[in-house]
Chain A
Amino acid sequence: MGYQSVTVEYGSGKKALGTVYNCEFLVTGTVSPSVVRESSLQRLFGSATTNDAFAIRSIQVAPRSRTLTASRTLSESASKRSQPASEAPLGSTGKGSSFARFTAYENDRRITADGALVPGTYATTWFDALLYVRTGEEAVERYALPDPTPAKYRFKIDPPACTPYREGVVQPSYEHEGGGAEVLFEQGTAPRTVTDRKELPER
């Protein structure tokens, strides 16, 4: 959704595989759209130039079957490289990064009275939450939660820049596929970083 796999022919006669996002931005190479992160795209779009467009002679959209095969191969490869957040390298949040936490409990005990997350608390990226999870049951599946009760309470977390965290991928477990982004705030977050709570439909 939102991209096309293409073959580009340049004025020099050279050809390259690529992906066009939003009918607007061309990225050459064989990166699967399913493993491109939103932050990467935002950086990409911010630094995009139009110079190459003048040198392109033709663009052919790849047949869907080839697109799916290539995408599946790359996704499987990426999946093998994916690791849970607990084993991912330590990073830090950027300015304006947002996260979400899903729970079946209206009173989430990992959130303090002053709106902080206690150390060692898991969440997901706001992007992952908005794009993939519309119900409490979807949260259970995507984040492989052992409690079958729909995790219908979604908390928004807006930590300041440079908050340390680890980011990885939820591994399949408890008979759920997982696959969602997971982040681990080993040191928690500052007060007043849990900014919103929304109750989603259960299913």
Chain B
Amino acid sequence: MRTKLSKHWMDYLLTQPESGMGYQRVDVEMSDGTILSDCLVYNASEIELPRNEALKTIVKVSIHRSRSKG
């Protein structure tokens, strides 16, 4: 499910490198401690999350470092 990021994370992701043209691969930590690996962010503004995670608050975002893509 595609969800719009808060301005805080949108601004942060603009300071981070892309993983390819128009997208970033990120690891995300949610407010309940759930960690989601290798999520896609488009245009530094919209993130793909599993439906059951989409309503939680994101507390940390970092660029995913693995080379292999989906």
Seen from chain A, the residues whose Cβ lies within 8 Å of a Cβ on chain B are 101-105, 107-110, 118-124, 143-147, 151, 170-171, 173-174, 182, 184, 186
Contacts and interface: CB of A to CB of B under 8 A. Distances in A.
B26 interface: no
Contacts, number: 71
B21 A109 contact: no
Residue of B10, B44, B69, B70 with most partner-chain A CB within 10 A: B69
B14 A109 contact: yes
Given A109-B43, A109-B45, A173-B70, A147 B23 contact: yes
Contacts of B17: 119-121, 184, 186
B70 A105 contact: no
26 contacts: A103-B43, A104-B22, A104-B42, A104-B43, A105-B42, A105-B43, A110-B44, A118-B14, A119-B17, A120-B17, A121-B17, A121-B18, A143-B21, A145-B22, A146-B20, A146-B70, A147-B22, A147-B40, A147-B42, A151-B21, A151-B22, A171-B69, A174-B70, A182-B20, A184-B18, A186-B17
Contacts of B42: 104-105, 147
Interface of B: 10, 14-18, 20-23, 40, 42-45, 69-70
A119 B70 CA distance: 24
Nearest to B22: A103
Nearest to A119: B17
A102 B21 contact: yes
A101 B16 contact: no
Contact of B69 (A101, A123, A173): A173
Given A146-B40, A171-B69, A173-B69, A102 B16 contact: no
8 nearest A-B pairs in the assembled complex, by CB-CB distance: A120-B17, A173-B69, A122-B21, A105-B43, A103-B22, A109-B44, A122-B18, A147-B42
